[in-house]
A and B are shown apart, each in its own frame.
Chain A
């Protein structure tokens, strides 16, 4: 069946984009969350505010900013093309960039809160026991904070899967290349293909419900065995 194959292509692309975006926000969000929770520096709260912006800015505005920055004549886009021959506009990598930036606050905010909730005493105990700074992050800080981080990650994944505005502005709507679930739904409705729209909408809803259920189970406070 042709339609089913189309749905599969769209779903696979959406999952690919969402997974990559979540992986990027995992690394950058955990790093920034730790930095904001543990280090004191000038402009700390300003940095927090700037990185929270994608959560409140309209996705179209965000997409426009991205287009201006990474477009072929934008400062970052021109540099990328000159040095690496990379073009992000109208590619699935562009969709990853859009989704990563939109979901970034969903990861670094809970990560910051989770790191702030880890008592410094545990890290100090590890230091006295001779454990290096990198190792104590992996052995103490991260395991104690992972619940909050995981909840944020799942939310980010669900959000990345549904990202529409910024993705459309930067990656466009190319079937098989940049057409993700939410964009395919939009197109199906526009074209009057109600059956297709129904299937796509149902798939998106099921995936999002599954992710949200897992996120609720992981939310900090559900299991309070870390507090003593």
Chain B
């Protein structure tokens, strides 16, 4: 798998992780806040590991790939770009849709010719198993909630939309990079 294709997956995980981390501290209940934050952190961790693989091929670093590209160079789906806080129904709907689509993608990577990529995919999959359990647990609870049903309908078509950036993404990028850009060339 070439670096550009890896970036698509890594960017999805980074931006979804970033969006999910927006819930840390303000989730609907304290226990869920803790659990959902772990999911967000895992996603950032997956992004980092994937960036590290791509970085070697591209002659750069994971942080540079994560932060130093211009907004239009990111390859994440439209689905993950959406800012959904404080809407828990849409957040969980996205979580369910993303985990399902991601499972197929990770499964394919586990069969990769590249042993390093296959190994990483297996590790990611073992963590994602808990994300899937968590998503299904919430789906069971919310499947009859009108807000949730509406959210799934609204968001389902977006998971296949790529190379389209919404205005919210520029705001996210601004915020994400503001400290990093504030002092040129600094180590943080």
A-B interaction = no
Which A residues lie at the B interface, using CB under 8 A?
none
Which B residues lie at the A interface, using CB under 8 A?
none
